Amino acid sequence: MPQLQFLVEGGHRLHGAIRPSGNKNAALPIVAAALLTDEPVTLTNVPRIRDLETLVDLVRTTGVDAEWVERNTLRIHAKVVRAADLDPVLCAKIRASILLAAPLLARCGEVKLPPPGGDVIGRRRVDTHFLALEQLGATHELTDRFELSARQLRGADVFLDEPSVTATENAITAAVAALGTTILRNAASEPHVQDLCHFLVTLGAKIDGIGTNTLTIEGGRTLHGGTHAIGPDHIEVGSFIGLAAVTRSSLRIEQAGVEHLRSVRMGFERLGVECEVDGNDLLVPGGQSMRIVDDLGGHVPKLEDQPWPAFPADVMSIAIVVATQCEGVILMHEKMFESRMFFVDKLVGMGARIVLCDPHRALIAGPSRLRAATVESPDIRAGMAMVLAALCAKGTSVINNIGQIERGYERIDERLRALGARIERVERP
């Protein structure tokens, strides 16, 4: 398979409008949860990215009919579901393979799940998934894979030991299939978790407390088919805000889902980047001050990620690149993953003034004039951050391992070229 790379010429202003894709982190659990019903489900605004393609391939191995009827429309008919061993090669490509645990337990009573893959951004424990499923009546055994079984899932009062997004999604899916009422406490409440809940309600589930940390789910209802549109990806919106900021461009982000952007906008405001709401569009004006806002008394400010509704961890890499172009000093605190910040050495090599204090904190002083370089894409978000860095650097940069970026961003080179970016996708010599 050829190795692909991006060639990015920096220093050019962008203009126009861009629309975010459907939320990757909503589409993945929704595709998995579509296995709960034996009637057809149609999903629209599904991002056509590598992670989704891989999950669809996994779903097909269980006997489910899944086909792309249009580029971003997926039809799933789980009339038949087999409790076959899941392909370890496919599972190793994506972390979302673990989301099949709950629906396969519900439909087949058992599942053998190889270890999931995903970005290497630190330890990503799976204990919370199995502790939650255990409280709902499942048993599990760990060999070279996770072997789960459940004669009948039953509702329970479940307290998650951490507000893990994917564990919350697995617990929600299992609770919808379980007999009786489940109260799910310390649940994650991100927009993609909410979207999963709304999808299941469309199929006939009863879920109260959507958008909060406590969900009450009346399980055991017969689910029917339906059609559901995946909501916009707020992480992509954050990426595009950063894109406009570092290129000093005026951009319109269409159908941005502004109701979910308050914490993202507040984070960028701390960097001196303001946005304007126009209906459901977000406008990022050009020529902004890009001046970091000090804390009261002139103290060095801090931008930190936390569980929703605080600033999202997946936007932290983008914010770090933006901070290199802002006037002032700021401490970035990545609380959730101990390896996510290890890409900053690539920015330092491009001329950024960054001190990596420890695996979770980086001190950034700006503005820095970045210069072109040859870099790698270590994970989805850091890869996109490197694209932003290259677009504001002097000269032409080479970005390798772009498959990581394309796991999460659909046709990103085409969409950026439509704004005037100089970016080309080429085969590596």
Give me the helices (H) in 14-146, please. Answer: 24-33, 50-60, 88-91, 101-108, 127-135
Task: Tell me: cis bond preceding 367? Omega within 30 of 0 counts.
Answer: yes
From residue 428, alpha-carbon distances to 5, 193, 278, 390 in Å are: 6, 38, 42, 18
Compute CA distances 19 → 16, 45, 281, 315, whole Å. Answer: 10, 11, 9, 17
Residue 95 and residue 226: Cα distance in Å, rounded?
A: 26
User: CB 209: neighbour CB atoms within 10 A?
Assistant: 16
Cα–Cα dist 121/197, whole Å: 27
Q: Evaluate whether 76 touches 59 at the Cβ level (below 8 Å).
A: yes
Enumerate residues 6+ apart whose C-beta is below 8 A from 275. 241, 261, 265, 268, 282, 283, 284
Report the C-alpha gap between 22 and 63 in whole angstroms: 26
**8 Å CB contact between 384 and 405:** yes
Q: How many CA atoms lie within 13 A of 280 on its CB side?
A: 11
**Residue found under tokens 């329970």:** 156
Query: Is there a contact between 172 and 193 (Cβ–Cβ < 8 Å)?
Result: yes
Burial group, residue 35, by CB count within 10 angstroms (0-12, 13-18, 19+): buried
Beta bridge partners of 208: 216
Cα–Cα distances in Å, from 209 out to 105, 154, 165, 229? 25, 20, 16, 21
Distance from the Cα of residue 273 to its chain's centroid: 22
For tokens 């061993």, the residue is: 85
CA distance 422 to 412: 12
Catalytic residues: 119
